[in-house]
């Protein structure tokens, strides 16, 4: 008898929330990598997808293997493809061990792969592209873990000057009056792995436009497992969904034992259908493809295949 061919592996989940693409792979305990190409940014590196190589920065949530196992390979591939040194952002508690691990590859490979590690302490920020910065937020998991928020800084006319005519504003400006103020908009938040904790209800997470959240367990009898492993259970997620203002919530890190159709049904039941339109499962290729086809149709494109668009 001829053995079966192995199943196809590695399809990348894809969602487009203009102007941002959220793409990657995320299965609890196996691998998580989530890329936002528009910001040259990856959250976690459990699998070095080809696409992830183009993002210069990896913001690591924590050091579990499914979130950083592919980091040396990612750095090495970037170097091999002449894309420059990768930049790694991590929790202060893992920076030493992580640095030791990465340096140990130099004698092993007989090659000095360049990299940069930056520890980002709670509340501090790091510049990304343009007006965007990355902030870290302490989470609560079985190993030190931080989530991240991409914040856009915009300068805006102060309220008291908004109704003035243009030439008056010009004059004030030339007189050196401070007519603008800096406002901060949380654009994208990422939870990493975490149990329900206060940070998830903090201002930045509350107001983020796009939320990328873990939700590992969906069955009632898995509540205890969620507690022990310090993960979110669907009942936690629904409570948070009632508070988060996000336009779009991307659900990641679903356990492989849970079929996505089943997870979607449970989410709908537990939330009594309240959040159906704004919740998306990253790995639900079928629904996400249909959604993308609708976006193309609206934009006047036809869908041939994922990589082939015609106008
Ligand atoms: Zn994980
Ligand atoms: Zn973990």
> What pLDDT is attached to residue 2?
94
pLDDT band at 173 (very low <50, low <70, confident <90, very high): confident
Judged by its nearest atom, the ligand closest to the C-alpha of residue 254 is 1
- Show the domain range for 155: 13-303
- pTM, rounded to two decimals: 0.93
Note whether residue 7 is domain-resident: no
Provide the domain count of the chain: 1
The pLDDT, as a whole number, for residue 303 is 62
| Residue-wise pLDDT tens digits, 187-230 | 999 999 999 999 999 999 999 999 999 999 999 999 999 999 99
Q: What percent of the chain has pLDDT over 70?
A: 97
**Confidence at 308, pLDDT banded by 50, 70, 90:** low
φ, ψ for residue 36, nearest 5 deg = -120, 95
Neighbours of ion ligand 1 (CB under 5 A): 66, 193
pLDDT band for position 311 (cuts 50, 70, 90): very low
Over residues 15-38, mean pLDDT: 97
pLDDT exceeds 50 at position 46: yes
Assess contact for 24 and 33: CB atoms under 8 A: yes
Average pLDDT on 134-145 reads 97
Q: Which residues partner with 211 through β-bridges?
A: 189, 249
Whether the per-residue pLDDT at 38 is higher than 60: the answer is: yes
> Which residue in the block uniquely carries the two structure tokens 């102060």?
158
Averaged pLDDT, 91-116: 96
Cα 239 to middle of ligand 1, angstroms:
21
Count, residues in the chain: 311
Q: Could you list which residues have their CB under 5 Å from ion ligand 2? A: 64, 193
Residue 162: pLDDT band by 50, 70, 90 thresholds? confident
Query: How many Å lie between the centroid of ligand 2 and the Cα of residue 228?
Result: 12
Give mean pLDDT, residues 101-120: 96
Q: How confident is the model at residue 257 (pLDDT cuts 50, 70, 90)?
A: confident
Q: Residue 266's pLDDT band (boundaries 50, 70, 90)?
A: very high
Res 149 pLDDT > 50 = yes
Ligand at shortest distance from the CA of 229:
2
**Counting ligands in written order, which one lies closest to the CA of residue 145?**
2
Give the pLDDT of residue 9: 79
CATH of the domain at 226: 3.60.15.10
Average pLDDT of every residue of the chain: 94
Which ligand is located closest to the Cα atom of residue 252?
A: 1
**pLDDT > 90: percent of the chain:** 85
User: Is 311 within a domain?
Assistant: no
3-state DSSP of the chain: CCCCCCCCCCCCEEEEECCEEEEEEEECCCEEEEEEHHHCEEECCCCCCCHHHHCCEEECCCCCHHHHCCHHHHHHHHHHCCCCCEEEEECHHHHHHHHHHHHCHHHHHCCCCCEEEEECCCCCEEECCCCEEEEEEECCCCCCCEEEEEEEEEEEECHHHCCCCHHHHHHHHHCCCCCEEEEEEEEEEECCCCCCCHHHHCHHHHHCCEEEEECCECCHHHHHHHHHHCCCEHHHHHHHHHHCCCCEEEEECECCCCCHHHHHHHHHHHCCCCCHHHEEECCCHHHHHHHHHHHHHHCCCEEEECCEEEC
Task: Specify if 310 maps to a domain.
Answer: no
Which ligand has the shortest distance to the CA of 62? 2
Residue 270 C-alpha to ligand 2 middle, in angstroms? 25
Residue 305: pLDDT above 80?
no
Q: 248: closest CA among 29, 89, 22?
A: 22
- Taking the mean position of all CA atoms in its chain, how far away is CA 17? 13
Here the contacts of 169-178 (C-beta below 8 Å, separation 24 or greater) are none
Rg (CA), the chain: 21
- Does residue 277 form part of some domain? yes
Angstrom distance (rounded) from CA 251 to CA 110: 40
């Amino acid at each position: 008898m001829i053995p079966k061919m192995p199943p196809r592996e590695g399809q990348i989940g894809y969602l487009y929330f203009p102007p941002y693409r959220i793409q990657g792979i995320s299965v609890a305990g196996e691998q998580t990598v989530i890329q936002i190409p528009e910001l040259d940014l990856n959250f976690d590196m459990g699998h070095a997808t080809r696409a992830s190589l183009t993002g210069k920065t990896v913001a690591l949530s924590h050091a579990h293997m499914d979130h950083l196992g592919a980091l040396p390979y990612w750095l090495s591939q970037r170097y091999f493809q002449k894309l420059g040194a990768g930049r790694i952002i991590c929790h202060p508690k893992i920076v030493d061990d992580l640095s030791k691990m990465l340096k140990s590859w130099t004698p092993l490979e007989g090659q000095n792969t360049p990299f940069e590690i930056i520890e980002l302490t709670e509340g501090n920020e790091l510049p990304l592209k343009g007006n965007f910065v990355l902030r870290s937020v302490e989470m609560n998991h079985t190993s030190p873990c931080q989530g991240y928020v991409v914040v856009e800084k915009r300068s805006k006319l102060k309220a008291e000057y908004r109704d003035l005519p243009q030439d008056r504003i010009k004059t004030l400006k030339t007189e050196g009056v401070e007519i603008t103020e800096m406002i901060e908009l949380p654009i994208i938040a990422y939870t990493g792995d975490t149990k329900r904790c206060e940070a998830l209800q903090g201002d930045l997470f509350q107001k983020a436009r796009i939320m990328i959240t873990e939700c590992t367990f969906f069955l009632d009898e898995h509540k205890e497992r969620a507690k022990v492993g310090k993960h979110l259970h669907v009942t936690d997620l629904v409570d948070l969904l009632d508070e988060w203002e996000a336009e779009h919530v991307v659900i990641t890190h679903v356990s492989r034992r849970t079929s996505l159709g089943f997870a979607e049904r449970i989410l709908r039941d537990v939330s009594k259908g309240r959040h159906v339109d704004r919740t998306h499962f990253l790995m639900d290729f079928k629904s996400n493809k249909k959604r993308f086809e609708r976006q193309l149709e609206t934009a006047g494109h036809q869908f041939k295949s994922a990589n082939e668009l015609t106008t």
